[in-house]
A and B are shown apart, each in its own frame.
Chain A
């Protein structure tokens, strides 16, 4: 436990050093921190602010400005439903609604209690040729329907269960 705390902290330092503690590199620093910690904990952001010599409110302002950053931990599987124009005219909303219903999530509540799924919409993944598109942990699934999506979800659930057992 103790070692892991220290190790985590060391990694944060390593990331900061990699970018030479340059405040102009705040965004790539936050990106790497998020890749490391899966989200941006308050302490890490405060730490970044001190290390870079910018105020914490500025770091917080930047972290909340960009959609890519998350201040809450995300689930193991991040499901992104594309709501770009092409997906939208091909009824991506139906997929989103089906998933919300299945997972018991909504706009405020984006992650399931068991921390297995996070449901998000994303403004175009540039895979419009395959609209509507659903992305699960960076794997793109094209030409989706609500039924296909739910089937996919069930497969994942089964897989997750088998891992546990």
Chain B
């Protein structure tokens, strides 16, 4: 039997064998083991399930198909609905229980697993009408999404290659090697319209084609899993929840460009992703889809995992390459592009996790069907991390062209107050694309989200963090927050970024602390423009975006800080004036005692007073007053 056939048969056989052995179980419990759910105790729930089922004298399997058992329990990757975790899904019915605690497990086993009853209290209840939904199909959070890349993520056992194979896994890699030429693979991806999901949106097919055309015996595929954008965790969920899809994408890329070796560069903050990828790579090697002479093609391709060491700038491809070569992650000028001279000077494809995970799906669907999703220039679907002041935080996926209204109101379930209750009002802004992106406001509620529309309004898709901010948010502070971030994360190589971000931060501090004048604002804007065009790499070029975009949409808020020395939402303590309302003051002297700088004085029977010269605006007095006599304004 030729080796080519061996792999083919083994993939098919493994698939059949898996599906057959699944039939023996009466039911399956899938417990979400994404970071969110784990933090909420899903591993305790998992352990308790095992215990309880065994206590009932039944057999429970934890590894599919190896043991004879009545039930099977498995962990899944992130299911997205982090707010409601820990999430437990019971098959065959597909019942979704939310906020499950270890104490609930016994009841679930008895009622649902053994008798098929629903436990009303653990079902998801809509916050509007309190109606319960038994499965994901009827929960707005899931109903309005188009889960493509995330489809298997959260459904399958990430650590079981057979389950991946049973879901058509590695069939597309096999197809790429058996029935398509490298050129055809590039062409197929180009036709799908897939653009890089890491930020800039460069057409993936063109990147591959450029690398394919390079004459070199050694070429590399790098999967960029250095998801550093604070407020984004899509890639983490894909790597944790469906690592094989990433590997398959890389194998197909290797076919397309003729690569010999691949690397997954993962943030060190994602230890679980590292662990799961390593297991997945090991299993893939054993299955023969990685290693020497894969699919009998004569081509060898293996993948290694490299952990980052904590530098946001390493998301930039040339910095990432420097980091992989053991250097400081400082970007280098392009040209040369990685496609010509990348890792160790060899032609290199660098794609982001989501991009690579999309590849097998595109091949399954066919490029035309995939391209049917999305808008004319931005094809397919995009994952977003929906966070901030929104009812349903979590991981979502929608076709390009979805609107903020659909996302925030529909999937997200509306904007919340600081305490988490629904506030009923619209958001003030949505920050998209993290520190490189910009903010969107109510005027963009119905704008289709895609690369071009976002670029036009001064934002970018970025890696896909969507942070919803309510009316209580000070936009100048938000701009400062991002500037602080980029200043810390700048590699310090080029002058505009190293010095420019530092000075922008200083100017923002002047504004927030009441030292600014009209000139400060002009200088800030001039500097932001210069940093944008003058910086060496993407980090610097996009660093001013949060400032420019808040200046564009919230100029009046800046003006209030600068000219009226007032923060419209009362968040900037340096601009607050504390005063004691004489009528309400009971002269209890508590505020005077709490004041750290002895700025409050008074006598019994008389209302107390604050010395504004001494006051450092810490707000302790206002917090301590039992009679609400101290106002901030």
Contact = CB atoms under 8 A, between A and B. Distances in A.
Q: Do A and B touch, yes or no (CB under 8 Å, in the complex)?
A: yes
Contact of B40 (A24, A86, A130): A130
Contacts of A31: 268, 307, 309
Given A69-B309, A90-B388, A138-B271, 14 more contacts: A30-B309, A62-B327, A65-B328, A85-B467, A86-B467, A88-B230, A123-B228, A123-B489, A127-B36, A127-B82, A128-B231, A128-B465, A130-B35, A142-B39
Given A86-B393, A89-B389, A126 B232 contact: yes
B485 A123 contact: yes
A67 interface: yes
B290 interface: no
A127 B35 contact: yes
A82 to B, nearest CB: 8
B141 to A, nearest CB: 12
A130 B387 CA distance: 9
A131 B386 CA distance: 11
Most buried by B among A27, A87, A133: A27
Most buried by B among A22, A24, A122: A24
B310 interface: yes
Contact of A89 (B268, B310, B469): B469
A89 B326 contact: no
B74 interface: no
A85 B393 contact: no
B311 A131 contact: no
Interface string B46-66: 000000000000000000000
A91 interface: yes
A43 B268 CA distance: 24
Nearest to B481: A88
Nearest to A128: B387
Interface string A28-39: 101100000000
Q: How large is the interface on A (under 10, 10 to 19, 20 to 34, 35 or more residues)?
A: 35 or more
18 contacts: A25-B326, A30-B309, A62-B328, A65-B491, A66-B308, A86-B393, A88-B230, A89-B389, A90-B418, A123-B485, A124-B233, A126-B269, A126-B270, A128-B385, A128-B387, A130-B35, A130-B393, A141-B39
B344 interface: yes
Interface in B377-434: 385, 387-389, 393-395, 418, 431, 434
Nearest to A140: B39
A126 B306 contact: no
Interface in B187-231: 227-231
A118 B299 CA distance: 49
B183 interface: no
A131 B328 contact: no
Contact of B488 (A91, A123, A127, A130): A123
Interface in B263-279: 267-271
B329 interface: yes
B39 A62 contact: no
B228 A89 contact: no
A91 B418 CA distance: 9
Contacts of B389: 89-90
